[in-house]
């Protein structure tokens, strides 16, 4: 087998087992939460509005969207991924909300699985779709041709770059060379015709990292904070399956590392404070993700400074259980209820509500 065929097979196995482990494995943070449970909205006894008039529509990167929610980047690049991406695309189109696809490294390395990405645009012709690539590929430097392949396959509205240092650290075949990411990112933001969004995958983005990303030309930041899924745990399961119980880290440190990261609500608070200190960056949009699993989480995300919230694992679980559309509908209806009780007819009003810290 040639080296590139071997690498391809590893990538396919990885994307496949990620879905399986995320659905069935014990991969939640166990010593950390998202932090949303620390906050309450203040009840408005005089909302002066009609429930049926509540309007969830807002905008993201200059385009109108029907609700402040997006489906996070998950999959693509192997044959079964096409069916998953098709269903995610249908849901995005139905709800008129944005969608990210999974890492497109496979589409760059091998043209045979490009259809599993292209299908998304076929079933979601009118919503924002975002391409996706990882920091290690960015660090190596993407060619103009590679960037064009990703954007054209999806007729993408933007490129999402994921930062996943902890995941790569735990991944059996991980790439831990994170030098030059920022420099290469700045080169990409300067030349591509669509906005670049940077996200984590569950360890969160601090205010200082966000500032460096914004200075490199990034237009939106998805915090993907801790408290939902631990990708360290996902990769630890893959490592154990391959190499047995032998562990690379000592016991107390392992627990710390498996639960590493900044809780989602903390990322939002810190980045909001940073943006207040830098009014020149007020247009930069923030996505709240990492453990989002209810309309209340979405509502609190907005009140903590996010433009919208996003979810991956709970959406994947709902899809697997055949309840994808029902789940999104329920979350949006819960969001409407919170807007009603907090006196917010529009999303912009919800964004200005002060949250109370629970005692």
Contact residues for ligand FMN, defined by CB under 6 A: 18-19, 22, 72-75, 102-103, 132, 162, 199, 201-202, 224, 228-229, 289-292, 311-313, 316
**Terminal-residue alpha carbon distance, the chain:** 61
Please give the Cα distance from 67 to 353 (Å, whole number). 18
Smallest gap from Cβ 58 to ligand FMN, in A, equals 20
- Rama region for 309: left / alpha / beta (φ>0; ψ in -120 to 50; rest): beta
Smallest gap from Cβ 186 to ligand FMN, in A, equals 20
Pick between residue 238 and residue 313 the one whose CB is nearest to ligand FMN.
313
Please give the Cα distance from 164 to 178 (Å, whole number). 10
Pick between residue 27 and residue 214 the one whose CB is nearest to ligand FMN.
27
The DSSP letter of residue 143 is: -
Smallest gap from Cβ 22 to ligand FMN, in A, equals 4
Please give the Cα distance from 311 to 186 (Å, whole number). 27
Beta strands in the chain (DSSP E): 39-41, 58-60, 63-65, 69-71, 99-100, 129-134, 158-162, 196-199, 220-222, 285-288, 308-311, 355-357
- Report the Cα 85 to chain-centroid distance in Å: 15
Pick between residue 316 and residue 328 the one whose CB is nearest to ligand FMN.
316
Smallest gap from Cβ 133 to ligand FMN, in A, equals 8
Nearest residue (beta carbon) to ligand FMN: 228
Pick between residue 19 and residue 207 the one whose CB is nearest to ligand FMN.
19
Smallest gap from Cβ 351 to ligand FMN, in A, equals 21
Pick between residue 21 and residue 207 the one whose CB is nearest to ligand FMN.
21
Cβ within 8 Å of residue 79, ≥6 positions away: 113, 116
Pick between residue 58 and residue 132 the one whose CB is nearest to ligand FMN.
132
Of 17, 96, 18, nearest in space to 63 by CA = 96
Please give the Cα distance from 290 to 111 (Å, whole number). 31
Smallest gap from Cβ 153 to ligand FMN, in A, equals 15
């Amino acid at each position: 087998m040639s080296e590139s065929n071997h690498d391809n097979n590893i990538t396919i196995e990885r994307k496949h087992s990620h879905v399986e482990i995320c659905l069935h494995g014990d991969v939640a943070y166990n010593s950390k939460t998202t932090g949303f449970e620390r906050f309450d909205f203040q009840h408005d006894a005089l909302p002066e509005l009609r429930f049926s008039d509540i309007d969830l529509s807002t905008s993201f990167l200059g385009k109108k969207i029907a609700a402040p929610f997006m489906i996070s980047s998950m999959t693509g690049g192997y044959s079964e991924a096409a069916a998953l991406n098709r269903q995610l695309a249908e849901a995005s189109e139905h709800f008129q909300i944005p969608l990210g696809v999974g890492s497109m490294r496979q589409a760059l390395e091998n043209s045979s699985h490009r259809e599993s990405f292209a299908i998304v645009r076929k079933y979601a012709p009118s919503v924002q779709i975002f391409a996706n690539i990882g920091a290690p590929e960015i660090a190596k430097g993407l060619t103009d041709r590679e960037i064009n392949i990703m954007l054209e396959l999806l007729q993408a509205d933007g490129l999402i770059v994921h930062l996943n240092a902890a995941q790569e650290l735990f991944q059996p075949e991980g790439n831990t060379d994170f030098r030059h990411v920022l420099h290469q990112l700045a080169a990409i933001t300067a030349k591509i015709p669509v906005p670049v969004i940077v996200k984590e995958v569950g360890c969160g983005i601090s205010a200082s990292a966000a500032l460096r990303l914004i200075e490199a030309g990034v237009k939106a930041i998805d915090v993907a904070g801790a408290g939902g899924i631990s990708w360290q745990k996902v990769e630890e399961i893959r490592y154990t399956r391959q190499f047995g119980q032998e562990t690379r880290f000592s016991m107390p440190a392992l627990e710390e590392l498996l639960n590493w990261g900044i809780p989602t609500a903390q990322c939002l608070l810190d980045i909001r404070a940073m943006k207040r200190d830098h009014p020149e960056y007020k247009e930069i949009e923030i996505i709240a993700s990492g453990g989002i699993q209810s309309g209340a989480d979405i509502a609190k995300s907005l009140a903590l400074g996010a433009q919208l919230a996003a979810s991956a694992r709970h959406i994947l679980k709902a899809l697997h259980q055949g309840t994808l559309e029902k789940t999104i509908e329920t979350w949006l209806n819960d969001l409407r209820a919170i807007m009603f009780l907090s006196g917010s007819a529009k999303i912009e009003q919800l964004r200005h509500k002060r949250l109370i810290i629970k005692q």
